[in-house]
Chain A
Amino acid sequence: MPDLIIASVMTMMTAATPLMFAATGELVCERSGVLNLGVEGMMLIGAVFGFATAAVTGNAPLGLLMAGVAGLLASLIFAALTLSLLSNQVATGLALTIFGTGLSALVGFDYVGETIERITAIHLPVLSDLPVVGRLLFGHDPLVYLSLGLLAGVTWFLSHSRWGMILRAVGDSDVSAHAIGYPVVLIRYAAVAFGGMMAGLGGGYLSLVYTPLWAENMAAGRGWIALALVVFANWRPERVLFGAILFGGITILQLNAQAAGVGIPAAFMSMLPYIATIVVLVLISRDAIKIRLNAPACLGRPFRAER
């Protein structure tokens, strides 16, 4: 039984990692006041370009890098449209998702059925072999640690650094930040780009580590879950960690329950992760005041420089 628990936790962490990447990136983006609904599209673009690079060069880490770059470039399209041309953020974000889904299918057409050398889990000489703690702490693949590290970095950045504070100021009152003299549009560009890179990394994780395959639409809605997670987390990074592990956990748990022969109908179990997300979101949204206190006040509103 303990073996099963450890194994399940390991699998849960890998299931949570793409969500953590995407949600962390989207968190930064939203804290600066920009609502980017194109996460799913950016994840798919990251997945396909990452996989294509790895398939062509044989170098999976390079593929991962390209995944991040591809996601970043895709998000810049969104940024240009919404920040410079002042298009509606919701509509543009949705358009980015549709665009990303289609572009990735087109680019990925030639790579369906190819396989690559995936990035494998690390193995530290003594530490990984410790009885229980060994695998749980030191046996994951490098990207799990990267996602946790980035999340910790973002947490610190937002609460303890000067530029993090400026970012939050831009998200809460862009007009005031502009009056003080901060480059609002530039900061938002940077935040969107970071969000795009993270979403690309999340997608790259799916196609380079999770399964060493490309398949059309392989994100299967994880981008949308990541978006929900940011709201679920009340825009706080530490809660993103909890939410991602919860969703990843339930996904794996329902498969485990099926395999173990627990009597609940399988169709219901399949729905469970999504229902859990909805339930949590509803519970969180009960307190409208709390939401308003925590949400970036300028979320989704275009910024026009007065002077």
Chain B
Amino acid sequence: MKYLVKLVVVTFAAVLSLGAISTASADKLKVGFIYIGPPGDHGWTYAHDQGRLTVEDQLGDRVETTFVEGVPEGPDAERAIAKLAETGHKLIFTTSFGYMEPTLKVAKRFPDVKFEHATGYKQADNVATYSARFYEGRYVQGQIAAKISKSGIIGYIASFPIPEVVRGINAFMLGAQSINSDMKVKVVWAYTWFDPPKEADAAKVLMDQGADIITQHTDSTAAIQAAADRGIKAFGQASDMIHFAPKTQLTAIIDEWGPYYVARTQAVLDGTWTSGDTWHGMGPGMVVMAPFTNMPESVRQMAIETTAALTSGKLHAFTGPIYNQAGELVVEAGEVAPDFPMLATMNFYVQGVDDKLPE
């Protein structure tokens, strides 16, 4: 009897494990996504997930997508990415800066899998990088803030001192200075992408210190909600957060990843995928501004005009003369800051930012 039971159990286990071995679907291309937070953050990861859904929408008959959420940047990331590669995914999007090294490591082990790393700067034969010129949106925000702020102090909740975040602060400042050269930006480094209580704390602290506009480079809606509680206007981040702050959101920078994701997936399907770096802004539609709300009509018109100018390429956010914090001229008058190396590896503040950049 005991022998029979053992036999049944072993057979059962064998059958289960056979079934669990992933057999690559003969037809459908498997595309994987690694998220740093939950799609429900209604911010950064939400936008990427919308991109993924667009891929399913347009290419669903030939593609199936998987996503893994809440993967911390670090050793765990390597494991998660490798898992996707091992289970037949041929195109993997890793959607956070901190996945750079893990992605490269896994890419070495799986040369026939294509990787797309968001906001990174290291490529390989099978690793492409992509990012959006969010800073263009920051420039518009800066202008709006300068027009609306009464105290002249903006509160900026920053995450990690990486070039992307520094670009954002600088572009914001330049936009604000184009309207009012005395604007002050107070920066708090939260050292997290997603920690709602901490983001709420940071917002409260900035408001306590006199900021009457809040903007953020963190991923949740906690800060804008904390600001809304006190009637302070704020900018949403990565997705339209108007639902969470209907009376106080001015606008939000929306990341439109859909078209890019579809294009890259199509490239893999067609066999035309090559590595490279893509850095699109408003022009190609990768950065979109949420409707301008809760502001006077004149400010709204200005914002629309600036957005149009940035989209058409008539205006570039980093147009000289630009001075750094030490007062040195880093971009000549009339010139535009070069993508490489200045913008891509930006590690200095422009003049007027009241903060010391952490190492």
Would you call A211 and B222 a contact (CB within 8 A)? yes
Would you call A259 and B197 a contact (CB within 8 A)? no
Known: A115-B225, A206-B197, A255-B201. A267 touches B354 (CB 8 A): no
Residue A293 interfacial (CB < 8 Å) = no
A265 to B39, CA, bound (A): 32
Between-chain CB contacts (< 8 Å), 24 pairs: A8-B208, A109-B38, A112-B40, A112-B41, A113-B39, A115-B221, A120-B229, A210-B200, A211-B196, A211-B199, A211-B200, A215-B194, A215-B196, A216-B38, A216-B70, A218-B196, A218-B197, A251-B201, A255-B201, A259-B211, A260-B186, A261-B354, A266-B191, A267-B191
Give the shortest distance, in Å, between B252 (CB) and chain A (any CB): 15
Known: A256-B209, A266-B191. A261 touches B186 (CB 8 A): yes
Residue A270 interfacial (CB < 8 Å) = yes
B-contact bits for A198-225, CB 8 A (1 contact / 0 none): 0000000010001111011010100000
A69 to B276, CA, bound (A): 54
Give the shortest distance, in Å, between A54 (CB) and chain B (any CB): 14
Would you call A215 and B186 a contact (CB within 8 A)? no
Would you call A213 and B198 a contact (CB within 8 A)? no
Would you call B189 and A211 a contact (CB within 8 A)? no
Which chain B residues (210-246) contact chain A, with CB distance < 8 Å? Answer: 210-211, 220-222, 225-226, 229, 243-244
- From B40, B155, B222, B244, give the contact of A259 (CB < 8 A): B155
Interface residues on chain B, size class: 35 or more
User: A-B pairs with the 8 shortest C-beta distances?
Assistant: A112-B40, A113-B40, A7-B208, A266-B189, A255-B205, A211-B222, A211-B196, A211-B200
Question: A-B contact count, CB below 8 Å?
Answer: 107
Q: Which residues of B contact A220 (CB under 8 A)?
A: 195, 197-198
Give the shortest distance, in Å, between B354 (CB) and chain A (any CB): 5
A-contact bits for B161-176, CB 8 A (1 contact / 0 none): 1000000000000000
Would you call B189 and A258 a contact (CB within 8 A)? yes
Residue A252 interfacial (CB < 8 Å) = yes
Looking at B155, B161, B205, B221, the one whose CB has the most chain A CB atoms below 10 A away is B205
Q: Which residues of B contact A259 (CB under 8 A)?
A: 155, 186-188, 205-206, 209, 211
Q: Which residues of A contact B41 (CB under 8 A)?
A: 112-113, 215
A255 to B202, CA, bound (A): 6
- From A4, A218, A267, give the contact of B208 (CB < 8 A): A4
Residue B90 interfacial (CB < 8 Å) = no
With A111-B40, A265-B358, A267-B191 known, 5 other A-B pairs at CB within 8 A are A109-B40, A113-B39, A218-B196, A261-B186, A266-B188
Looking at B41, B189, B204, B221, the one whose CB has the most chain A CB atoms below 10 A away is B204
Would you call B191 and A256 a contact (CB within 8 A)? no
Residue A59 interfacial (CB < 8 Å) = no
A266 to B190, CA, bound (A): 8
Q: Is the interface of A mostly helix, strand, loop or mixed?
A: helix
Residue A277 interfacial (CB < 8 Å) = no
Q: Which residues of A contact B191 (CB under 8 A)?
A: 266-267, 270
Q: Which residues of B contact A266 (CB under 8 A)?
A: 161, 188-189, 191, 358
Q: Which residues of B contact A258 (CB under 8 A)?
A: 187-189
Residue A173 interfacial (CB < 8 Å) = no
A202 to B207, CA, bound (A): 25
Would you call A215 and B208 a contact (CB within 8 A)? no
Give the shortest distance, in Å, between A170 (CB) and chain B (any CB): 35
Residue A11 interfacial (CB < 8 Å) = yes
Residue B335 interfacial (CB < 8 Å) = no
B-contact bits for A257-277, CB 8 A (1 contact / 0 none): 011110101110010000000
A266 to B200, CA, bound (A): 17
A212 to B222, CA, bound (A): 8
Looking at B40, B189, B243, B356, the one whose CB has the most chain A CB atoms below 10 A away is B40
A112 to B210, CA, bound (A): 31
A120 to B291, CA, bound (A): 29
Residue B359 interfacial (CB < 8 Å) = yes
Give the shortest distance, in Å, between A172 (CB) and chain B (any CB): 37
Give the shortest distance, in Å, between A10 (CB) and chain B (any CB): 8
Residue A226 interfacial (CB < 8 Å) = no
